Amino acid sequence: MITIGLDMMGGDFAPIQAVKGVISFLQESPNDTRIFLIGDETSILSELEKNNFNSPNISIVHTSQVIEMHEHPTKALKEKQDSSIAVGFHLLATEKIDAFISAGNTGAMMVGALFSIKTIEGIIRPTIGAYIPREDGSLGLLLDVGLNADCKPENLNQFAMLGSLFASQILKIENPKVGLVNLGEEEGKGNLLAQAAYPILKENAQINFIGNIEGRDVLLNKADVMVCDGFTGNVVLKLAESIYDIVKRRKINDAYFNQFNFEVYGGVPVLGVAKPVIIGHGISGENAFKNMISIACKMVDADFTGKIKTSVL
């Protein structure tokens, strides 16, 4: 039995969309998952009732506080011990749940992941990535997308390994191609970071390094795992996200650009911490929550964090 903790108070549409996501997940998936719905019991029960749903696979963990989106992460986590995020991490740290998911305050989720759960030994810095939709319908993984604004070459090497593991184990991409986001294709191109990272990636036998990829390759399936510093990745991700808004505003209905609706993907896990933690987009909807629960289950099932431990040894 896999147990997943879900913050019901996180995201712009809490707890409505989270409840819908749970229902949608449980209606499709086998019965070996138990989901802890962490949040205000009355609101959760009311939403479950509205949807006329009950299941032995859900348990409500009542919490009386909520960390709002604008709150200071460390301060809020410390002061709001009975918030859904603080309780979630407590359950995860004490092994009551196998994974924790929230679309709430990103900073608080990061602080919780890094300090309640800790980094896997050998991992210099955990990373957070994002799915990148490609024209052929597949998903690429771009990382880091903002957790590590300044990086050292060795960080990029670990992002490449973490991303490759996630792509192969969870996204089921066989021998995922790793590309180094750069300003030119040839070896030797780039800023100091990219120039120094290239030979390290090239020599890393644990990954399938295909070389540099340029900005024009990000939306193609040239590489499955695209590594860069968190500054570049964040700008790239937000630019890609903005394309969807433009497409909708201009009433363009195109199968590919519709995939730029990043809210459907939910969130990508924080890679490198000792237990599965998934941070969702604030605008996560039903599908996003369903996808995040599904990804969390796959991570637990595959002993993903255990595999990271083995591969960094």
**Smallest Cα–Cα separation from 53: which of 61, 65, 45?**
45
- Residue 120 is given by DSSP the state P
236 belongs to the binding site for its own copies (CB under 8 A): yes
Interface with its own copies by CB under 8 A: which range of 19-27, 200-208, 210-218, 277-285?
210-218
CB of 177 to its own copies, least distance (A): 18
71 belongs to the binding site for its own copies (CB under 8 A): no
CB of 235 to its own copies, least distance (A): 4
CA separation for the pair 118, 175 (Å, rounded) = 28
31 belongs to the binding site for its own copies (CB under 8 A): no
Q: Closest CB to its own copies among 219 and 302? A: 219
**x/- site string to its own copies, residues 119 to 148, per CB under 8 A?**
----------------x----------x--
**Smallest Cα–Cα separation from 178: which of 195, 162, 196?**
162
CA separation for the pair 251, 198 (Å, rounded) = 41
CA separation for the pair 100, 278 (Å, rounded) = 6
* Count of Cβ atoms closer than 10 Å to residue 175 Cβ: 11
Size of the site for its own copies (CB under 8 A): 41
242 belongs to the binding site for its own copies (CB under 8 A): yes
- The residues with which 2 forms a beta bridge, in sequence order, are 33
The answer to whether 105 touches 11, Cβ cutoff 8 Å, is no
**Smallest Cα–Cα separation from 89: which of 244, 255, 273, 232?**
273
Residue 158 buriedness (CB in 10 A; 0-12 / 13-18 / 19+): buried
Q: Closest CB to its own copies among 32 and 243? A: 243
CB of 132 to its own copies, least distance (A): 10
Q: Closest CB to its own copies among 241 and 301? A: 241
Report the chain's C-alpha Rg in angstroms.
19
227 belongs to the binding site for its own copies (CB under 8 A): no
Look at the chain and count its residues.
313
CB of 187 to its own copies, least distance (A): 15
State which of residues 150, 172, 174, 310 lies at the interface with its own copies (CB under 8 A): 150
108 belongs to the binding site for its own copies (CB under 8 A): no
Q: Which residues bind its own copies (CB under 8 A)?
A: 135, 146, 149-150, 181-183, 190-192, 194, 214-220, 228-232, 234-243, 245-246, 249-250, 252, 254, 256-257
